[in-house]
Amino acid sequence: MAATHEARAPGAAVPAPDFDAIIIGAGMSGMYQLHRLRQQGLRVRVFEAGTGVGGTWYWNRYPGARFDSESYSYGYSFSQELLEEWDWSEHFAGQPETLRYLNHVADKFDLRRDIQFRSLVTAAIWVEDTRSWTITLQDGSQFRARFLITAIGPLSAPTLPRIEGVDSFKGQSFHTARWPHEPVDFTGKRVAVIGTGATGVQTIQTIAGSVGHLTVFQRTPNWCAPLHNGKIDAETQSRIKAGYPEMFRRCQETFACFIHTPDPRGTFEVSDDEREAFFEKLYAERGFGIWQGNFRDILIDRKANALISDFVARKIRQRVKDPQIAEKLIPGNHGFGTRRLPLETFYYEVYNRDNVELVDITETPIERITPEGIKTSDREFEFDIIIYATGFDAITGSFDKIDLRGANGARLKDRWKSGPETFLGVMVDGFPNMLMLMGPHTALGNIPRSIEYNVDWVTGLLSYARETGLTRVEATPSGVASWTDHVKALGVGMLSNEVNSWMTGINSNVEGKQTRIVARYSGSAPAYRARCDEVTAQRYQELALA
Ligand code: NA7
Protein backbone atom coordinates (compact mmCIF):
# COMPACT_ATOMS: atom_id res chain seq x y z
CA MET A 1 0.00 0.00 0.00
CA ALA A 2 1.32 3.46 -0.88
CA ALA A 3 1.24 6.39 1.48
CA THR A 4 -0.71 9.50 0.49
CA HIS A 5 1.48 12.55 0.50
CA GLU A 6 -0.72 15.46 -0.64
CA ALA A 7 -0.97 18.23 1.88
CA ARG A 8 -4.40 19.07 3.23
CA ALA A 9 -6.13 22.09 1.69
CA PRO A 10 -5.80 25.02 4.11
CA GLY A 11 -8.75 25.13 6.47
CA ALA A 12 -10.12 21.77 5.37
CA ALA A 13 -11.47 19.65 8.21
CA VAL A 14 -9.45 16.60 9.14
CA PRO A 15 -11.69 13.53 8.85
CA ALA A 16 -12.15 11.47 12.00
CA PRO A 17 -10.28 8.17 11.90
CA ASP A 18 -11.60 4.87 13.33
CA PHE A 19 -9.73 5.42 16.58
CA ASP A 20 -8.03 8.23 18.44
CA ALA A 21 -5.14 5.89 19.09
CA ILE A 22 -4.00 2.45 18.07
CA ILE A 23 -1.56 0.71 20.37
CA ILE A 24 0.57 -2.14 19.08
CA GLY A 25 1.14 -4.70 21.82
CA ALA A 26 -0.68 -5.77 24.97
CA GLY A 27 2.30 -6.19 27.24
CA MET A 28 2.90 -4.14 30.36
CA SER A 29 3.23 -0.85 28.50
CA GLY A 30 0.34 -1.38 26.06
CA MET A 31 -1.99 -2.43 28.86
CA TYR A 32 -1.27 0.60 31.01
CA GLN A 33 -1.40 2.93 28.01
CA LEU A 34 -4.83 1.61 27.09
CA HIS A 35 -6.06 2.18 30.62
CA ARG A 36 -4.72 5.73 30.75
CA LEU A 37 -6.10 6.79 27.38
CA ARG A 38 -9.50 5.34 28.12
CA GLN A 39 -9.53 7.36 31.33
CA GLN A 40 -9.14 10.43 29.08
CA GLY A 41 -12.19 9.34 27.09
CA LEU A 42 -10.23 8.39 23.97
CA ARG A 43 -11.31 5.68 21.54
CA VAL A 44 -8.48 3.18 21.59
CA ARG A 45 -7.78 -0.21 20.05
CA VAL A 46 -4.88 -2.47 20.95
CA PHE A 47 -3.62 -5.02 18.43
CA GLU A 48 -1.78 -7.95 19.94
CA ALA A 49 -0.16 -10.85 18.08
CA GLY A 50 -0.61 -13.33 20.95
CA THR A 51 -3.77 -14.89 22.29
CA GLY A 52 -3.54 -13.15 25.65
CA VAL A 53 -2.14 -10.16 27.49
CA GLY A 54 1.29 -9.99 29.10
CA GLY A 55 3.84 -9.44 26.31
CA THR A 56 7.21 -10.65 27.57
CA TRP A 57 5.47 -12.68 30.27
CA TYR A 58 3.06 -14.18 27.76
CA TRP A 59 5.75 -15.31 25.31
CA ASN A 60 8.63 -16.30 27.58
CA ARG A 61 7.25 -19.50 29.12
CA TYR A 62 10.53 -21.39 29.18
CA PRO A 63 11.37 -23.38 32.30
CA GLY A 64 12.63 -21.17 35.10
CA ALA A 65 11.61 -17.83 33.55
CA ARG A 66 11.32 -15.33 36.38
CA PHE A 67 11.92 -11.78 37.53
CA ASP A 68 15.41 -10.63 38.41
CA SER A 69 13.94 -7.48 39.96
CA GLU A 70 12.06 -7.78 43.24
CA SER A 71 8.45 -8.68 42.41
CA TYR A 72 7.01 -5.83 44.49
CA SER A 73 9.22 -3.28 42.74
CA TYR A 74 8.21 -4.61 39.33
CA GLY A 75 4.39 -4.50 39.50
CA TYR A 76 2.32 -1.49 38.48
CA SER A 77 2.23 1.30 41.05
CA PHE A 78 -0.65 3.36 39.64
CA SER A 79 -3.48 1.71 41.56
CA GLN A 80 -3.48 1.60 45.34
CA GLU A 81 -6.25 -0.97 45.28
CA LEU A 82 -4.22 -3.23 43.00
CA LEU A 83 -1.19 -2.90 45.26
CA GLU A 84 -3.25 -3.81 48.29
CA GLU A 85 -5.06 -6.77 46.83
CA TRP A 86 -2.14 -8.52 45.09
CA ASP A 87 0.18 -10.77 47.12
CA TRP A 88 3.45 -11.75 45.46
CA SER A 89 4.40 -15.22 46.67
CA GLU A 90 8.16 -14.91 46.14
CA HIS A 91 10.72 -12.13 46.18
CA PHE A 92 11.34 -12.89 42.50
CA ALA A 93 8.15 -14.29 41.00
CA GLY A 94 8.18 -16.93 38.30
CA GLN A 95 6.62 -16.34 34.88
CA PRO A 96 3.32 -18.17 35.60
CA GLU A 97 2.65 -15.93 38.59
CA THR A 98 3.55 -12.78 36.68
CA LEU A 99 1.27 -13.77 33.83
CA ARG A 100 -1.53 -14.41 36.37
CA TYR A 101 -0.89 -10.94 37.77
CA LEU A 102 -1.13 -9.31 34.34
CA ASN A 103 -4.34 -11.20 33.59
CA HIS A 104 -5.69 -10.01 36.92
CA VAL A 105 -4.86 -6.44 35.90
CA ALA A 106 -6.59 -6.96 32.54
CA ASP A 107 -9.70 -8.26 34.35
CA LYS A 108 -9.70 -5.59 37.01
CA PHE A 109 -9.53 -2.72 34.54
CA ASP A 110 -11.66 -4.46 31.92
CA LEU A 111 -8.91 -4.08 29.34
CA ARG A 112 -9.71 -6.97 27.01
CA ARG A 113 -12.75 -5.34 25.44
CA ASP A 114 -10.42 -2.98 23.57
CA ILE A 115 -7.73 -5.52 22.74
CA GLN A 116 -7.87 -7.51 19.54
CA PHE A 117 -5.80 -10.68 19.95
CA ARG A 118 -4.22 -12.84 17.20
CA SER A 119 -3.64 -9.60 15.35
CA LEU A 120 -0.10 -9.18 14.11
CA VAL A 121 0.53 -5.70 12.77
CA THR A 122 2.50 -5.95 9.55
CA ALA A 123 2.43 -2.32 8.35
CA ALA A 124 1.79 1.17 9.65
CA ILE A 125 1.66 3.99 7.12
CA TRP A 126 1.27 7.69 7.80
CA VAL A 127 -1.35 9.37 5.60
CA GLU A 128 -0.71 13.09 5.55
CA ASP A 129 -3.99 14.38 4.19
CA THR A 130 -6.06 12.63 6.86
CA ARG A 131 -3.41 13.09 9.52
CA SER A 132 -3.75 9.51 10.54
CA TRP A 133 -1.97 6.18 10.57
CA THR A 134 -3.28 3.26 8.55
CA ILE A 135 -2.49 0.02 10.31
CA THR A 136 -2.54 -3.26 8.40
CA LEU A 137 -2.85 -6.63 10.09
CA GLN A 138 -1.50 -9.93 8.81
CA ASP A 139 -5.00 -10.92 7.64
CA GLY A 140 -5.12 -7.79 5.46
CA SER A 141 -7.63 -5.82 7.53
CA GLN A 142 -6.90 -2.13 7.97
CA PHE A 143 -7.69 0.46 10.64
CA ARG A 144 -7.04 4.17 10.89
CA ALA A 145 -6.03 6.10 13.98
CA ARG A 146 -4.92 9.64 14.70
CA PHE A 147 -2.07 8.41 16.90
CA LEU A 148 0.06 5.30 16.65
CA ILE A 149 1.59 4.09 19.89
CA THR A 150 4.17 1.33 19.70
CA ALA A 151 4.26 -0.84 22.80
CA ILE A 152 6.27 -3.58 21.16
CA GLY A 153 9.00 -4.08 23.75
CA PRO A 154 12.79 -3.92 23.51
CA LEU A 155 13.20 -7.71 23.69
CA SER A 156 10.40 -9.21 21.65
CA ALA A 157 11.86 -10.25 18.30
CA PRO A 158 13.50 -13.64 19.02
CA THR A 159 16.35 -14.77 16.81
CA LEU A 160 17.35 -18.32 15.96
CA PRO A 161 21.03 -18.92 15.29
CA ARG A 162 22.22 -18.65 11.74
CA ILE A 163 23.53 -22.20 11.69
CA GLU A 164 23.09 -24.47 8.74
CA GLY A 165 20.50 -27.18 9.21
CA VAL A 166 18.35 -25.56 11.92
CA ASP A 167 15.22 -26.74 10.07
CA SER A 168 16.50 -30.26 9.56
CA PHE A 169 16.39 -31.40 13.21
CA LYS A 170 13.90 -34.25 13.69
CA GLY A 171 13.44 -33.96 17.45
CA GLN A 172 11.67 -31.17 19.33
CA SER A 173 13.22 -27.71 19.22
CA PHE A 174 12.16 -24.45 20.81
CA HIS A 175 13.30 -20.88 21.03
CA THR A 176 12.85 -19.88 24.68
CA ALA A 177 10.69 -16.88 23.73
CA ARG A 178 8.34 -19.07 21.68
CA TRP A 179 7.91 -21.79 24.25
CA PRO A 180 4.78 -23.97 23.89
CA HIS A 181 1.83 -23.43 26.21
CA GLU A 182 1.80 -27.15 27.07
CA PRO A 183 4.43 -28.58 29.41
CA VAL A 184 7.50 -30.15 27.79
CA ASP A 185 8.49 -33.53 29.23
CA PHE A 186 12.24 -33.70 29.79
CA THR A 187 12.29 -37.03 31.62
CA GLY A 188 15.17 -39.13 30.39
CA LYS A 189 15.68 -36.87 27.36
CA ARG A 190 18.96 -35.82 25.78
CA VAL A 191 18.72 -32.06 25.73
CA ALA A 192 20.90 -29.32 24.21
CA VAL A 193 20.82 -25.66 25.21
CA ILE A 194 22.50 -23.12 22.92
CA GLY A 195 23.06 -19.77 24.63
CA THR A 196 24.12 -18.74 28.12
CA GLY A 197 22.57 -15.27 28.58
CA ALA A 198 20.05 -14.52 31.33
CA THR A 199 17.53 -16.83 29.64
CA GLY A 200 19.94 -19.70 29.06
CA VAL A 201 21.10 -19.53 32.68
CA GLN A 202 17.53 -19.72 34.03
CA THR A 203 16.67 -22.58 31.68
CA ILE A 204 19.82 -24.60 32.34
CA GLN A 205 19.62 -24.43 36.13
CA THR A 206 15.93 -25.36 36.05
CA ILE A 207 16.01 -28.38 33.74
CA ALA A 208 19.38 -29.92 34.71
CA GLY A 209 17.76 -32.05 37.41
CA SER A 210 14.95 -33.42 35.28
CA VAL A 211 16.61 -34.19 31.95
CA GLY A 212 18.40 -37.43 31.14
CA HIS A 213 21.45 -35.56 29.88
CA LEU A 214 22.10 -31.89 29.25
CA THR A 215 24.71 -30.42 26.91
CA VAL A 216 25.26 -26.67 27.14
CA PHE A 217 26.77 -24.99 24.08
CA GLN A 218 28.45 -21.83 25.31
CA ARG A 219 29.96 -19.20 23.05
CA THR A 220 30.54 -16.44 25.60
CA PRO A 221 30.30 -17.01 29.35
CA ASN A 222 28.48 -14.30 31.29
CA TRP A 223 29.18 -13.06 34.77
CA CYS A 224 26.33 -14.30 36.96
CA ALA A 225 25.51 -13.66 40.62
CA PRO A 226 23.14 -15.39 43.05
CA LEU A 227 19.49 -14.39 43.00
CA HIS A 228 18.76 -15.58 46.57
CA ASN A 229 15.06 -15.93 45.95
CA GLY A 230 12.70 -16.85 48.77
CA LYS A 231 9.04 -17.13 49.68
CA ILE A 232 7.33 -14.09 51.13
CA ASP A 233 5.74 -14.85 54.49
CA ALA A 234 2.68 -13.07 55.87
CA GLU A 235 4.64 -10.67 58.04
CA THR A 236 6.96 -9.67 55.20
CA GLN A 237 3.92 -9.30 52.96
CA SER A 238 2.40 -6.72 55.32
CA ARG A 239 5.72 -4.92 55.59
CA ILE A 240 6.04 -4.77 51.82
CA LYS A 241 2.54 -3.37 51.43
CA ALA A 242 3.01 -0.78 54.15
CA GLY A 243 6.30 0.21 52.54
CA TYR A 244 5.04 0.66 48.98
CA PRO A 245 5.00 4.49 48.95
CA GLU A 246 8.54 4.65 50.30
CA MET A 247 9.79 1.92 47.95
CA PHE A 248 8.31 3.52 44.82
CA ARG A 249 9.71 6.88 45.91
CA ARG A 250 13.11 5.25 46.20
CA CYS A 251 12.78 3.67 42.74
CA GLN A 252 12.10 7.16 41.37
CA GLU A 253 15.37 8.39 42.84
CA THR A 254 17.76 5.61 41.85
CA PHE A 255 19.80 5.64 38.66
CA ALA A 256 17.90 2.87 36.88
CA CYS A 257 14.70 2.67 38.99
CA PHE A 258 15.83 -0.41 40.89
CA ILE A 259 15.50 -0.52 44.67
CA HIS A 260 19.29 -0.75 44.84
CA THR A 261 21.33 2.44 45.00
CA PRO A 262 25.04 2.63 44.18
CA ASP A 263 27.29 2.96 47.20
CA PRO A 264 28.59 6.53 47.26
CA ARG A 265 32.15 5.29 47.85
CA GLY A 266 34.66 4.59 45.13
CA THR A 267 36.24 1.11 44.98
CA PHE A 268 39.65 2.43 45.98
CA GLU A 269 38.44 4.66 48.77
CA VAL A 270 38.24 1.70 51.16
CA SER A 271 40.81 -0.77 52.46
CA ASP A 272 41.26 -4.16 50.79
CA ASP A 273 39.56 -5.87 53.74
CA GLU A 274 36.61 -3.50 53.72
CA ARG A 275 36.19 -3.95 49.98
CA GLU A 276 36.29 -7.73 50.23
CA ALA A 277 33.75 -7.67 53.07
CA PHE A 278 31.47 -5.39 51.06
CA PHE A 279 31.64 -7.66 47.99
CA GLU A 280 30.91 -10.68 50.24
CA LYS A 281 27.90 -8.90 51.69
CA LEU A 282 26.55 -8.04 48.23
CA TYR A 283 27.14 -11.58 46.95
CA ALA A 284 25.02 -12.88 49.84
CA GLU A 285 22.17 -10.44 49.23
CA ARG A 286 19.08 -10.76 47.05
CA GLY A 287 18.87 -9.48 43.52
CA PHE A 288 20.77 -6.86 41.60
CA GLY A 289 22.50 -5.28 44.64
CA ILE A 290 25.91 -6.54 43.53
CA TRP A 291 25.35 -4.85 40.15
CA GLN A 292 23.31 -1.74 40.94
CA GLY A 293 24.23 -1.24 44.61
CA ASN A 294 27.98 -1.74 44.31
CA PHE A 295 30.72 0.92 44.55
CA ARG A 296 29.74 3.82 42.32
CA ASP A 297 32.64 3.34 39.89
CA ILE A 298 32.57 -0.37 39.01
CA LEU A 299 30.86 0.18 35.67
CA ILE A 300 33.01 3.09 34.56
CA ASP A 301 36.47 2.52 35.99
CA ARG A 302 38.36 -0.36 34.42
CA LYS A 303 40.52 -0.99 37.50
CA ALA A 304 37.52 -0.95 39.83
CA ASN A 305 35.71 -3.29 37.49
CA ALA A 306 38.69 -5.65 37.44
CA LEU A 307 38.46 -6.04 41.23
CA ILE A 308 34.79 -7.04 41.31
CA SER A 309 35.39 -9.29 38.28
CA ASP A 310 38.23 -10.98 40.13
CA PHE A 311 36.01 -11.43 43.22
CA VAL A 312 33.25 -13.13 41.20
CA ALA A 313 35.81 -15.25 39.30
CA ARG A 314 37.04 -16.57 42.65
CA LYS A 315 33.45 -17.45 43.59
CA ILE A 316 33.03 -19.38 40.34
CA ARG A 317 36.26 -21.29 41.01
CA GLN A 318 35.01 -22.17 44.50
CA ARG A 319 31.65 -23.35 43.26
CA VAL A 320 32.69 -25.39 40.22
CA LYS A 321 34.63 -28.53 41.14
CA ASP A 322 36.45 -29.11 37.86
CA PRO A 323 39.02 -26.29 37.50
CA GLN A 324 39.03 -26.52 33.71
CA ILE A 325 35.26 -26.12 33.52
CA ALA A 326 35.42 -23.27 36.03
CA GLU A 327 37.87 -21.41 33.78
CA LYS A 328 35.55 -21.86 30.80
CA LEU A 329 32.72 -20.30 32.81
CA ILE A 330 34.73 -17.18 33.67
CA PRO A 331 34.31 -14.42 31.08
CA GLY A 332 37.55 -13.23 29.57
CA ASN A 333 36.33 -10.63 27.10
CA HIS A 334 34.24 -8.33 29.27
CA GLY A 335 34.10 -7.16 32.86
CA PHE A 336 31.52 -7.92 35.54
CA GLY A 337 28.20 -6.14 34.97
CA THR A 338 29.11 -4.71 31.58
CA ARG A 339 26.49 -6.96 30.03
CA ARG A 340 23.08 -7.44 31.59
CA LEU A 341 23.81 -9.50 34.71
CA PRO A 342 22.08 -12.91 34.75
CA LEU A 343 20.98 -13.81 38.27
CA GLU A 344 21.23 -17.48 39.13
CA THR A 345 20.18 -20.16 41.58
CA PHE A 346 22.82 -22.89 41.82
CA TYR A 347 23.72 -22.32 38.16
CA TYR A 348 27.41 -22.98 38.66
CA GLU A 349 26.70 -26.15 40.67
CA VAL A 350 24.88 -27.53 37.60
CA TYR A 351 28.31 -28.13 36.09
CA ASN A 352 29.21 -30.44 38.99
CA ARG A 353 26.46 -32.86 37.94
CA ASP A 354 27.29 -36.09 36.10
CA ASN A 355 24.49 -35.57 33.57
CA VAL A 356 25.67 -32.13 32.42
CA GLU A 357 28.38 -31.28 29.91
CA LEU A 358 29.68 -27.86 28.88
CA VAL A 359 30.84 -27.45 25.30
CA ASP A 360 32.90 -24.35 24.59
CA ILE A 361 32.04 -23.57 21.00
CA THR A 362 34.83 -21.08 20.67
CA GLU A 363 37.12 -24.13 20.83
CA THR A 364 34.94 -26.54 18.86
CA PRO A 365 32.47 -24.48 16.81
CA ILE A 366 29.04 -25.76 15.85
CA GLU A 367 29.23 -26.66 12.17
CA ARG A 368 25.61 -27.57 11.61
CA ILE A 369 22.39 -28.81 13.13
CA THR A 370 21.74 -32.33 11.84
CA PRO A 371 18.50 -34.33 11.76
CA GLU A 372 19.79 -36.15 14.87
CA GLY A 373 21.42 -33.32 16.78
CA ILE A 374 24.41 -31.00 16.59
CA LYS A 375 27.72 -31.42 14.81
CA THR A 376 30.69 -29.49 16.15
CA SER A 377 34.17 -29.41 14.65
CA ASP A 378 35.13 -32.47 16.67
CA ARG A 379 31.97 -34.42 17.52
CA GLU A 380 28.46 -35.41 16.52
CA PHE A 381 25.92 -35.12 19.32
CA GLU A 382 22.49 -36.76 19.29
CA PHE A 383 19.58 -35.00 21.00
CA ASP A 384 15.87 -35.41 21.61
CA ILE A 385 15.37 -31.69 22.30
CA ILE A 386 17.30 -28.57 21.26
CA ILE A 387 16.59 -25.36 23.13
CA TYR A 388 17.65 -22.10 21.50
CA ALA A 389 18.28 -19.52 24.23
CA THR A 390 19.83 -17.33 21.57
CA GLY A 391 18.22 -14.01 22.43
CA PHE A 392 16.58 -11.22 20.51
CA ASP A 393 17.02 -8.69 17.76
CA ALA A 394 16.85 -6.18 20.57
CA ILE A 395 15.53 -2.63 20.86
CA THR A 396 15.08 -1.85 17.16
CA GLY A 397 14.29 -5.40 15.96
CA SER A 398 10.58 -5.26 16.78
CA PHE A 399 10.32 -1.98 14.80
CA ASP A 400 12.18 -3.48 11.85
CA LYS A 401 9.60 -6.24 11.56
CA ILE A 402 6.81 -3.76 10.82
CA ASP A 403 6.68 -1.94 7.49
CA LEU A 404 6.63 1.41 9.23
CA ARG A 405 6.51 4.47 6.96
CA GLY A 406 6.20 8.09 7.89
CA ALA A 407 5.88 11.31 5.91
CA ASN A 408 6.77 10.98 2.22
CA GLY A 409 6.83 7.23 2.52
CA ALA A 410 10.15 7.20 4.43
CA ARG A 411 10.81 3.89 6.13
CA LEU A 412 11.82 3.85 9.78
CA LYS A 413 14.11 0.90 9.13
CA ASP A 414 16.07 2.93 6.59
CA ARG A 415 16.10 5.97 8.83
CA TRP A 416 17.64 3.88 11.62
CA LYS A 417 20.09 1.97 9.46
CA SER A 418 23.09 3.33 11.35
CA GLY A 419 21.35 3.34 14.71
CA PRO A 420 18.19 4.87 16.12
CA GLU A 421 17.55 8.61 16.13
CA THR A 422 14.82 9.85 18.45
CA PHE A 423 13.53 12.70 20.53
CA LEU A 424 13.36 11.54 24.17
CA GLY A 425 13.18 7.98 22.86
CA VAL A 426 9.50 8.66 22.20
CA MET A 427 9.27 10.43 18.85
CA VAL A 428 11.05 10.66 15.50
CA ASP A 429 10.86 13.58 13.08
CA GLY A 430 9.19 12.51 9.84
CA PHE A 431 6.94 10.14 11.79
CA PRO A 432 4.19 12.45 13.02
CA ASN A 433 1.77 11.23 15.67
CA MET A 434 3.89 8.16 16.37
CA LEU A 435 4.77 7.67 20.02
CA MET A 436 7.07 4.92 21.21
CA LEU A 437 6.86 3.25 24.61
CA MET A 438 10.16 1.79 25.76
CA GLY A 439 11.61 2.70 22.39
CA PRO A 440 15.32 3.15 21.77
CA HIS A 441 16.98 5.95 23.79
CA THR A 442 14.63 5.67 26.76
CA ALA A 443 15.70 4.77 30.27
CA LEU A 444 15.18 0.98 30.56
CA GLY A 445 16.42 -0.24 33.98
CA ASN A 446 13.59 -1.59 36.12
CA ILE A 447 11.29 -1.48 33.12
CA PRO A 448 7.82 -1.14 34.69
CA ARG A 449 8.90 1.98 36.51
CA SER A 450 10.09 3.46 33.21
CA ILE A 451 6.94 2.26 31.47
CA GLU A 452 4.67 4.07 33.89
CA TYR A 453 6.54 7.32 33.39
CA ASN A 454 6.70 6.89 29.60
CA VAL A 455 2.97 6.12 29.37
CA ASP A 456 2.02 9.05 31.59
CA TRP A 457 4.12 11.38 29.45
CA VAL A 458 2.50 10.16 26.23
CA THR A 459 -0.92 10.43 27.87
CA GLY A 460 -0.14 14.02 28.83
CA LEU A 461 0.81 14.88 25.26
CA LEU A 462 -2.31 13.29 23.79
CA SER A 463 -4.51 15.04 26.34
CA TYR A 464 -2.88 18.34 25.45
CA ALA A 465 -3.45 17.68 21.74
CA ARG A 466 -7.09 16.96 22.41
CA GLU A 467 -7.64 19.99 24.62
CA THR A 468 -5.99 22.35 22.14
CA GLY A 469 -7.40 20.78 18.97
CA LEU A 470 -4.06 19.60 17.61
CA THR A 471 -4.17 16.83 15.07
CA ARG A 472 -0.49 16.61 14.27
CA VAL A 473 2.46 16.43 16.65
CA GLU A 474 5.96 15.76 15.48
CA ALA A 475 9.49 15.94 16.80
CA THR A 476 11.69 18.46 15.03
CA PRO A 477 14.87 17.45 13.20
CA SER A 478 16.94 19.61 15.55
CA GLY A 479 15.24 18.11 18.60
CA VAL A 480 16.00 14.61 17.36
CA ALA A 481 19.59 15.52 16.49
CA SER A 482 20.29 17.04 19.87
CA TRP A 483 18.65 14.21 21.87
CA THR A 484 20.49 11.60 19.81
CA ASP A 485 23.81 13.41 20.34
CA HIS A 486 23.04 13.70 24.04
CA VAL A 487 22.34 9.96 24.33
CA LYS A 488 25.56 9.15 22.47
CA ALA A 489 27.56 11.49 24.70
CA LEU A 490 26.09 9.89 27.83
CA GLY A 491 27.29 6.50 26.64
CA VAL A 492 30.93 7.58 26.43
CA GLY A 493 32.91 6.11 29.30
CA MET A 494 30.35 3.45 30.21
CA LEU A 495 32.21 0.14 30.04
CA SER A 496 29.00 -1.57 28.88
CA ASN A 497 29.04 0.47 25.69
CA GLU A 498 32.42 -1.01 24.79
CA VAL A 499 31.13 -4.57 24.91
CA ASN A 500 29.19 -6.60 22.35
CA SER A 501 25.73 -7.44 23.65
CA TRP A 502 22.09 -6.87 22.85
CA MET A 503 22.43 -3.60 24.77
CA THR A 504 24.84 -2.31 22.13
CA GLY A 505 22.72 -3.57 19.27
CA ILE A 506 24.84 -6.60 18.39
CA ASN A 507 23.19 -9.76 17.16
CA SER A 508 25.32 -12.24 15.25
CA ASN A 509 22.17 -13.83 13.84
CA VAL A 510 20.81 -10.73 12.11
CA GLU A 511 22.23 -9.29 8.91
CA GLY A 512 23.59 -5.79 9.44
CA LYS A 513 23.71 -5.96 13.28
CA GLN A 514 27.41 -6.57 13.78
CA THR A 515 28.37 -2.98 14.51
CA ARG A 516 27.84 -1.45 17.93
CA ILE A 517 25.32 1.34 18.16
CA VAL A 518 24.02 3.51 20.97
CA ALA A 519 20.48 2.22 21.31
CA ARG A 520 20.04 2.75 25.03
CA TYR A 521 19.82 5.87 27.13
CA SER A 522 22.54 5.40 29.70
CA GLY A 523 21.99 8.50 31.80
CA SER A 524 20.04 8.40 35.04
CA ALA A 525 16.29 7.86 35.06
CA PRO A 526 15.74 11.02 37.16
CA ALA A 527 17.67 13.07 34.58
CA TYR A 528 15.60 11.50 31.80
CA ARG A 529 12.36 12.37 33.54
CA ALA A 530 13.54 15.90 34.28
CA ARG A 531 14.18 16.50 30.58
CA CYS A 532 10.78 15.09 29.58
CA ASP A 533 9.07 17.14 32.32
CA GLU A 534 10.74 20.25 30.93
CA VAL A 535 9.20 19.59 27.52
CA THR A 536 5.78 19.26 29.15
CA ALA A 537 6.23 22.38 31.27
CA GLN A 538 6.98 24.38 28.13
CA ARG A 539 3.72 23.14 26.64
CA TYR A 540 5.50 21.00 24.06
CA GLN A 541 6.87 24.04 22.25
CA GLU A 542 9.91 21.93 21.28
CA LEU A 543 7.63 19.89 19.01
CA ALA A 544 6.12 20.86 15.68
CA LEU A 545 2.42 21.20 16.53
CA ALA A 546 -0.47 21.72 14.13
P1 NA7 B 1 21.11 -12.80 25.30
O2 NA7 B 1 21.52 -12.18 26.57
O3 NA7 B 1 21.29 -12.02 24.05
O4 NA7 B 1 21.88 -14.18 25.18
C5 NA7 B 1 21.87 -14.95 24.01
C6 NA7 B 1 22.84 -16.09 24.17
O7 NA7 B 1 22.82 -16.90 23.00
C8 NA7 B 1 24.27 -15.62 24.34
O9 NA7 B 1 24.93 -16.51 25.20
C10 NA7 B 1 24.82 -15.74 22.91
O11 NA7 B 1 26.20 -15.86 22.84
C12 NA7 B 1 24.14 -17.00 22.47
N13 NA7 B 1 24.04 -17.10 21.02
C14 NA7 B 1 23.35 -16.30 20.18
N15 NA7 B 1 23.49 -16.72 18.91
C16 NA7 B 1 24.30 -17.79 18.95
C17 NA7 B 1 24.82 -18.65 17.95
N18 NA7 B 1 24.53 -18.46 16.66
N19 NA7 B 1 25.62 -19.65 18.33
C20 NA7 B 1 25.90 -19.84 19.64
N21 NA7 B 1 25.45 -19.07 20.63
C22 NA7 B 1 24.65 -18.05 20.29
O23 NA7 B 1 19.58 -13.25 25.33
P24 NA7 B 1 18.72 -13.73 26.57
O25 NA7 B 1 17.43 -14.23 26.02
O26 NA7 B 1 19.50 -14.66 27.43
O27 NA7 B 1 18.48 -12.45 27.41
C28 NA7 B 1 17.99 -11.26 26.82
C29 NA7 B 1 17.46 -10.37 27.89
O30 NA7 B 1 16.13 -10.79 28.22
C31 NA7 B 1 18.18 -10.40 29.19
O32 NA7 B 1 19.32 -9.63 29.19
C33 NA7 B 1 17.12 -9.92 30.14
O34 NA7 B 1 17.06 -8.51 30.14
C35 NA7 B 1 15.86 -10.49 29.60
P36 NA7 B 1 27.13 -14.53 22.67
O37 NA7 B 1 27.10 -13.87 24.01
O38 NA7 B 1 26.48 -13.69 21.60
O39 NA7 B 1 28.44 -15.04 22.27
Instruction: Decide if 221 contacts 330 (C-beta within 8 A).
Output: yes
Q: Which atom of ligand 1 is nearest to the CA of 388?
A: 7
For the chain, counts of helices (H) and of strands (E): 18, 20
Q: How far is CA 209 from CA 31, 349, 352, in A?
A: 37, 11, 12
Spatial distance between the Cα atoms of 157 and 159, rounded to a whole number of angstroms: 7
CA of 23 to the centre of ligand 1 (A): 28
Rounded distance, CA 39 to CA 351, Å?
Answer: 52
| pLDDT, tens digit only, all 546 positions of the chain | 333 334 455 556 677 899 999 999 999 999 999 999 999 999 999 999 999 999 999 999 999 999 999 999 999 999 999 999 999 999 999 999 999 999 999 999 999 999 999 999 999 999 999 999 999 999 999 999 999 999 999 999 999 999 999 999 999 999 999 999 999 999 999 999 999 999 999 999 999 999 999 999 999 999 999 999 999 999 999 999 999 999 999 999 999 999 999 999 999 999 999 999 999 999 999 999 999 999 999 999 999 999 999 999 999 999 999 999 999 999 999 999 999 999 999 999 999 999 999 999 999 999 999 999 999 999 999 999 999 999 999 999 999 999 999 999 999 999 999 999 999 999 999 999 999 999 999 988 999 999 999 999 999 999 999 999 999 999 999 999 999 999 999 999 999 999 999 999 999 999 999 999 999 999 999 999 999 999 999 999 999 999
Instruction: List all residues 6 or more positions away from 506 whose beta carbon is below 8 Å from its beta carbon.
Output: 500, 513, 514, 515, 516
Looking at residue 70, what DSSP letter applies? Answer: -
Q: Is the CB of 514 under 6 A from ligand 1?
A: no
Q: Per-domain residue ranges for the chain? A: 15-53+111-157+394-495+521-545, 193-388
The minimum-distance atom of ligand 1 relative to the CA of 199 is: 26
- Residue 276's pLDDT is 98
The answer, yes or no, to whether any atom of ligand 1 lies below 6 A from the CB of 153, is: no
Rounded to the nearest whole angstrom, what is the distance from the C-alpha of residue 390 to the centroid of ligand 1?
4
DSSP letters for 306-349: HHHHHHHHHHHHHH-SSHHHHHHHS-SSS-TTSS---EESSHHH
> CB-side exposure of 251: number of CA atoms within 13 Å?
28
Cβ(194) to ligand 1 under 6 A?
Answer: yes
The whole-angstrom separation of Cα 3 and Cα 408 is 7
Nearest CA-CA partner of 210 in 186, 227, 231, 243: 186
Q: Residue 261 phi/psi, 5° resolution?
A: -115, 135
Helix/strand/coil percentages in the chain, nearest 5:
35, 20, 45
Distance 165 CA to ligand 1 centre (A): 20
Ligand 1 atom at minimum distance from 161 CA? 18
Distance in angstroms (rounded) separating the CA atoms of residues 435 and 42: 16
Q: Does the domain spanning 15-53+111-157+394-495+521-545 belong to CATH 3.40.50.10310? A: no
pLDDT at res. 12 = 64
The finding on whether 196 has its CB within 6 A of some atom of ligand 1 is: yes
Ligand 1 binding pocket mutation candidate from 390, 447, 450 (most atoms within 8 A of CB): 390
| Residue closest to 91 by CA, chosen among 284, 202, 232 | 232
